[in-house]
A and B are shown apart, each in its own frame.
Chain A
Amino acid sequence: MEPILIAEAAINGILLGGVLALLALGLNLIFGVVDIIWIAYVELVMLGMYAVYWLVTAYAWPLPLAALAAVALVTVLGLLVHLLIIAPILSSPPVNQLLATGGLLFFLQSFATFLWATDHRSLRLALPILEVFGMFLSFARLLAFAVSLLAMLGLYLFLTRTYMGTAIRAVSQDREAMALMGADARKVYLVTSGIGGAMAGLAGALLIIQYSVHPHFGAAFGPLTFMICVLGGLGNMFGAVVASLLMSEVISVGGIITSTEMAYVVAFVIFIVAIFVRPEGILGKRE
Chain B
Amino acid sequence: MKRGRTLRVLSLASLALATLAAAVWFYLPAAAQGPTGPIKIGVLYDLTGPFAAAGAVPGSIGTKIAFDMVNEKGGVLGKHKIQTVAGDSQSKPDVAINEAERLLNVEKVDILLGIYSSAIAVPLAEKVDKQNRLLWITIAIADGVFKGRDLKYTFRAQPPGSQFGQLSTRFIADYAQERFKMKPEDVKGAIIYEDGPYGSGVAASGEAEMKKIGMKLVLKEGYSANTPDLASLVTKLKAARPDVLFHTGYNPDITLFLRQAKELGLRVKAIVGHGAGYGQYDKLREALREDVDHIFNVDPVASQLLDPKNYKPAELGKIRDEFLARYKKETGVDQIPPHASMGFNNTWILLTDVLPRAIQKHGGWSPEAIQKAALETDIPEGGTIQGYGVKFAGPGHEMRGQSLRASLVIMQYIGGKTQIVYPKAISTASPVLPLPATSPYAAR
Report yes or no: B259 in contact with A210, Cβ–Cβ below 8 A: yes
Report yes or no: B48 in contact with A118, Cβ–Cβ below 8 A: yes
Contact of B50 among A117, A127, A214 (CB under 8 A): A214
Report yes or no: A138 in contact with B264, Cβ–Cβ below 8 A: yes
Judge if A96 is at the interface, Cβ distance under 8 Å. Answer: no
Contact of A139 among B48, B236, B263, B288 (CB under 8 A): B263
Contact of B235 among A8, A113, A139 (CB under 8 A): A8
Report yes or no: A256 in contact with B259, Cβ–Cβ below 8 A: no
Q: How many A-B residue pairs have CB under 8 A?
A: 125
Chain A interface residue count, Cβ-Cβ cutoff 8 angstroms: 50
Contact of A16 among B49, B222, B231 (CB under 8 A): B231
The complex places the Cα of A8 from the Cα of B252 at a distance, in Å, of: 24
Judge if A166 is at the interface, Cβ distance under 8 Å. Answer: no
Report yes or no: B252 in contact with A255, Cβ–Cβ below 8 A: no
Q: Closest residue of chain B to A121, judged by CB?
A: B286
Judge if A287 is at the interface, Cβ distance under 8 Å. Answer: no
Task: Say how far A234's CB is from chain B's closest CB, in angstroms.
Answer: 21
Contact of A252 among B226, B229, B259 (CB under 8 A): B229
The complex places the Cα of A137 from the Cα of B227 at a distance, in Å, of: 19
Contacts A139-B263, A252-B231, A260-B223 given; does A124 touch B286 at CB 8 Å: yes
Contact of A216 among B49, B231, B260, B289 (CB under 8 A): B49
Judge if B233 is at the interface, Cβ distance under 8 Å. Answer: yes
Judge if A196 is at the interface, Cβ distance under 8 Å. Answer: no
Bits for A206-233, please: 1 = Cβ < 8 Å to B, else 0.
0000111011110111001000000000
Contact of A120 among B235, B252, B264 (CB under 8 A): B252
Judge if A9 is at the interface, Cβ distance under 8 Å. Answer: yes
- A99-152 CB contacts (< 8 Å) to partner B: 110, 113, 117-122, 124, 126-127, 129, 131, 136-141
Contacts A9-B231, A255-B236 given; does A214 touch B53 at CB 8 Å: yes
The complex places the Cα of A261 from the Cα of B230 at a distance, in Å, of: 11
Judge if B221 is at the interface, Cβ distance under 8 Å. Answer: yes
Judge if B195 is at the interface, Cβ distance under 8 Å. Answer: yes
Report yes or no: B239 in contact with A221, Cβ–Cβ below 8 A: no
Report yes or no: A220 in contact with B228, Cβ–Cβ below 8 A: yes
Provide the residues of chain B in CB contact with A255, threshold 8 Å. Answer: 232-233, 236
Provide the residues of chain A in CB contact with B204, threshold 8 Å. Answer: none
Judge if B64 is at the interface, Cβ distance under 8 Å. Answer: no
Task: Say how far A140's CB is from chain B's closest CB, in angstroms.
Answer: 7
- B84-140 CB contacts (< 8 Å) to partner A: 91
Provide the residues of chain A in CB contact with B195, threshold 8 Å. Answer: 261
Judge if A264 is at the interface, Cβ distance under 8 Å. Answer: yes
Judge if A259 is at the interface, Cβ distance under 8 Å. Answer: yes
Provide the residues of chain A in CB contact with B430, threshold 8 Å. Answer: none
- A171-223 CB contacts (< 8 Å) to partner B: 210-212, 214-217, 219-221
Report yes or no: B265 in contact with A256, Cβ–Cβ below 8 A: no
Task: Say how far B133's CB is from chain A's closest CB, in angstroms.
Answer: 28
Provide the residues of chain B in CB contact with A67, threshold 8 Å. Answer: none
Report yes or no: A216 in contact with B228, Cβ–Cβ below 8 A: no
- A248-265 CB contacts (< 8 Å) to partner B: 248, 251-256, 259-261, 263-264
Provide the residues of chain B in CB contact with A259, threshold 8 Å. Answer: 221-222
Judge if B302 is at the interface, Cβ distance under 8 Å. Answer: no
Contacts A124-B289, A211-B256, A214-B252 given; does A220 touch B283 at CB 8 Å: no
Report yes or no: B226 in contact with A220, Cβ–Cβ below 8 A: yes
Report yes or no: B53 in contact with A219, Cβ–Cβ below 8 A: no
Judge if A1 is at the interface, Cβ distance under 8 Å. Answer: yes
Contacts A118-B49, A120-B283 given; does A256 touch B236 at CB 8 Å: yes
Most chain A beta-carbon neighbours within 10 Å: one of B221, B226, B262, B263: B263
Report yes or no: A138 in contact with B48, Cβ–Cβ below 8 A: no
Task: Say how far B46's CB is from chain A's closest CB, in angstroms.
Answer: 8
11 example contacts (A-B, Cβ-Cβ < 8 A) are as follows A16-B228, A110-B48, A117-B57, A118-B48, A118-B49, A120-B252, A136-B264, A137-B263, A211-B252, A214-B53, A256-B235
A252-B231, A253-B232 known, 18 other contacts, Cβ within 8 Å: A1-B239, A113-B48, A117-B53, A118-B49, A120-B53, A120-B251, A122-B288, A126-B289, A136-B263, A136-B265, A138-B260, A212-B252, A214-B53, A216-B49, A220-B226, A252-B232, A255-B232, A260-B233
Q: Measuring CB to CB, which residues of chain A are less than 8 angstroms from any residue of chain B? A: 1-2, 5, 8-9, 12-13, 16, 110, 113, 117-122, 124, 126-127, 129, 131, 136-141, 210-212, 214-217, 219-221, 224, 248, 251-256, 259-261, 263-264
CB-based closest 8 A-B pairs: A255-B232, A118-B52, A122-B287, A136-B265, A138-B263, A260-B223, A136-B264, A12-B231
